[in-house]
Amino acid sequence: MKKYLILLCFCLIALLSNSCKKNSSDDTLAPVNSYMTFKVDGVGQSANKVAALLSSKHNNLSISGLLDNSGFVLLNIPSPQIGTYAIPQSVYGHETYDNLSIFYQADGTNANAFDGLNGSITITALTSTTVTGTFQISCSNPLGNPIVTKIISEGKFSSNFIIDTTN
C-alpha cells in the first residue's frame, strides 16, 4: 500500500504541475498560494510542491507535500468537510481510501517512513476548488530499527485540488 501512496503523491504533483497553466477563458478559478508547513520534533519543514486530489468515486481528499530530500507528507481525508478529524491508530500498510490517515516519509527510505499513531486534521476552509487546514500527529516508523516516534506539530496546508471522476 505504501508503494501506491508514494506513486499517488508523485502523480498528484505531476498532475498539478501540468494543470497550473492559466486558461484565459476561465478567470474564475484564481489559484490559491499552495503551501504545506509543519515541524518535526520542533524543527520547521516546508513542502516545495503541494498537490491535492479529490476522488469522486471514493469521496476522498488526498493532499501531498513534496520535500526537498525526496520525502513527503500525505494527508488522506474521507468525506471531506469543514471540521476536525481525529486520527485513529493505523495499522502499517493497511490504510485505504476509507481511512483518515497521515503518512510522513523523511527521505526516500522505508526506515524513515512514519505512520500516524494519533492526532488530527482540521479543514478550516473548503470550496469547490480549494482546501485549507491544519494538522498534528504523533507517528512511528514500524520498519525502522530501532522503531522511532516523531511528533509532527503546527502543520498548515492550503491547495487547489483537482477532481478525479475516473476512478
Q: What is the total residue count of the chain? A: 167
Q: What's the pLDDT tens digit per position in 130-165? A: 999 999 999 888 877 788 899 999 999 999 998 888
- In whole angstroms, what is the distance from residue 86 CA to residue 158 CA? 19
Q: Name the residue with cell 478567470.
A: 27
Whether the model clears a pTM of 0.85, i.e. scores above it, the answer is no
Residues 6+ apart with CB under 8 A from 92: 115, 142, 143
What is the Rg, in whole angstroms, of the alpha carbon atoms belonging to the chain? 15
Residues 6+ apart with CB under 8 A from 107: 69, 70, 71
Percent of the chain with pLDDT strictly greater than 70: 73
Q: What is the per-residue pLDDT for 167?
A: 59
Q: What's the pLDDT tens digit per position in 31-53? A: 568 999 999 999 999 999 999 99
Domain range summary for the chain, segments of one domain joined by +: 2-19+36-164
- The string of DSSP letters for 80-91 reads --SEEEEEPPP-
* DSSP classification of residue 7: H
